Amino acid sequence: MITINLSAKSIHDQPVSSRVWFLEEGFTFGKELNALAKHLFPSLQQFFNERGFTGKANSGITLPIWHDEKLLHLIFVGLGKKHGKTLTMENYRRAVGRAVRLAESHKLSSFAFELLNPKDFGVDLNHLVQQTVTTAHMAGYHFDDFKRDRQSTKELAITICIDKAQQKAAEQAKKAGEIIAAAVNTTRHQIDTPPSRLTPTHLAEHAERVAKENKLKITVFGEPEIIKMGMGGLAAVSAGSHQDAKFIIMEYNGGKKTDKRIALVGKGITFDSGGLSIKPAASMETMKEDMAGAASVINAIGALAALKAPVNVVAIAPTSENLPSGTATKPGDIIKFYNGKTAEVRNTDAEGRLILADALSYAVKHFEPGLIVDVATLTGACDYAVGPFYSGLFTMDDKLADTALAAAQKSGDRVWRLPLHEDYEFAIASDVADLCNIGKSNYKAGATTAAMFLKHFVDDCPWIHLDIASNAFDLPSTSYVEHGASGASVRLLIELALSYK
């Protein structure tokens, strides 16, 4: 459990068990470090030299000293080099994460540090505070509900020292940072929760809770209604499972009545076995992650309400299990979606596009959105294309791509644009239905052919598709995100909605 507070008192007057300094690569001993050496540890320079600490990105060291009759830990963390005129925010986020990790591993109960100058990063104070707070809380996330030795139950109090004049603005930014972090970490917790404990019903109950807390309108359709409404995609995917499918719709109206809505649509497969086109064992191991998109949109809309964002948003999450059984959909079956189009299901493991087809059609028909953003752990191919550090970004609209890239850059969620072009259309043609749910093998680009499939269900609405199969789960450590669910896309969705005009 991390708690963060802001203080106008000097770092040297804080009653903490450790103090943290963030240092740029190749730093020199200025006023601050000289004073530190003079008062606390005369051979500080020698310590850095011997330990080879130069302020490189992703580096950090701890120095326990005896001070005021107590043990005090001095922690030094590297910020890396400047890129052009400024330090990078990503290196800063990692440095904040590193400080939290070092504090945890040394079992420290508190640390204080001075907020750096936002100008050094080319950002404003609000943004720096928000990012610091969000990142520290992300670093403090541990999925250890099922462990006896629980890091999450240990307290770590962080004090950010800040100028008195800035404190009021910073308190607001801190609150925003906490709301965003809570959305990210709740999303991660739902993804990490074992699949038999997080069923479509549980996900819908969670959405009800988010709606209640934030006074959102919510509608949840169960499987009989889903079938009756003609959502043949979601019904087909859920056909092999004993769990009831759910279709979740949440509405937040923070904008003017006349403002167009943003629709956030998230894939909610609470477990993807592949269905009758069953996955090999190794590919199935982490398929509890396949509801990451749904959890992201549910928690993002909750955060937008808590932030009182001046926008109208609807979040739609189709959710079900994808399992084989005697009642499961079979390869060769043909299904009909909510908008009347049909598809041949050649591979029951390409199920995400089937449930999203209904959800996108529903969004278009009932909400006439000014922008649709869908988020899905959609294709292994996306993972092969971009590896674990990016989500795939798809849109035919260059301006929208720029908007998404800017929001990604600002929020800390990283995306990489991949191709989406009419030329790929023929890849998903079928001899027996309007569409086929897998791409022809000579078209290769599996992430793109999946995106082309979705495009059939958004009509002319401005639309962004995010494939987070690459970075939703089990990333190489960046210190503030480690193994398990990453919460990829939550920060980005919130930023996109906040910057929507």
* Residues paired with residue 437 on neighbouring β-strands, in sequence order: none
- The residue among 176 and 468 lying less far from Zn ion, judged by its C-beta, is 468
Binding test (CB under 6 A) with ligand BES, winner from 272, 321, 374, 495: 272
Shorter beta-carbon distance to ligand BES: residue 100 or 231: 231
Q: Look at residue 42 and give its three-state secondary structure.
A: coil
Annotated active-site residue 353? The verdict is yes
How far the first Cα of the chain sits from its last, in Å, is 36
Considering the rule CB under 5 A, would residue 266 count as an interface residue with Zn ion? Answer: no
Q: Which residue has the tokens 């992300």?
A: 138
Interface region with Zn ion, contact rule CB under 5 A, candidates 85-93, 182-190, 285-293, 488-496: 285-293
Among 349, 358, 413, 495, which residue interacts with ligand BES (rule: CB under 6 A)?
349
Nearest approach in angstroms of CB 437 to ligand BES is 8
Residue 5, both tokens: 């507070």
Distance CA 322, CA 205 (A): 20
From CA 384, how far away is CA 486, in angstroms rounded? 18
Three-class secondary structure of residue 310 per DSSP: coil
Q: How far is CA 429 from CA 189, 434, 463, in A?
A: 39, 7, 22
- Smallest gap from Cβ 236 to ligand BES, in A, equals 14
Per-residue DSSP letter, 378 = -
DSSP one-letter code for 117: P
**Of the candidates 229, 243, 250, 300, which has an alpha carbon nearest to the alpha carbon of residue 500?**
300
- Give the interface size with ligand BES as a residue count (CB under 6 A): 17
**Identity of the residue, 102 or 488, whose beta carbon is nearer to Zn ion in the bound complex:** 488
The CB-of-421 to ligand BES minimum distance in angstroms stands at 19
Catalytic residue among 81, 175, 209, 279: 279
Annotated catalytic residue 444: no
- C-beta of 139 vs 381, nearer to ligand BES: 381
Query: Helix 167-192 vs helix 292-306: angle between axes, to the nearest 10 degrees?
Result: 160
Q: Which residues inside 356-415 make contact with ligand BES, applying CB under 6 A?
A: 377-381, 383
120-143 CB burial, b ≥16 within 10 A, e <16: bbebebbbbbbbbbbbbbbbbbbb
Out of 353, 410, 455, 491, which one is annotated catalytic? 353
Q: Which of 352, 369, 392, 446 binds Zn ion (CB under 5 A)?
A: 352
CB of 263 to Mn ion, least distance (A): 23
- By CB under 6 A, name the binding residues for ligand BES: 272, 289-290, 347, 349-352, 377-381, 383, 438, 446, 469
Active centre residues (catalytic) = 279, 353
- By CB under 5 A, name the binding residues for Zn ion: 269, 272, 290, 352
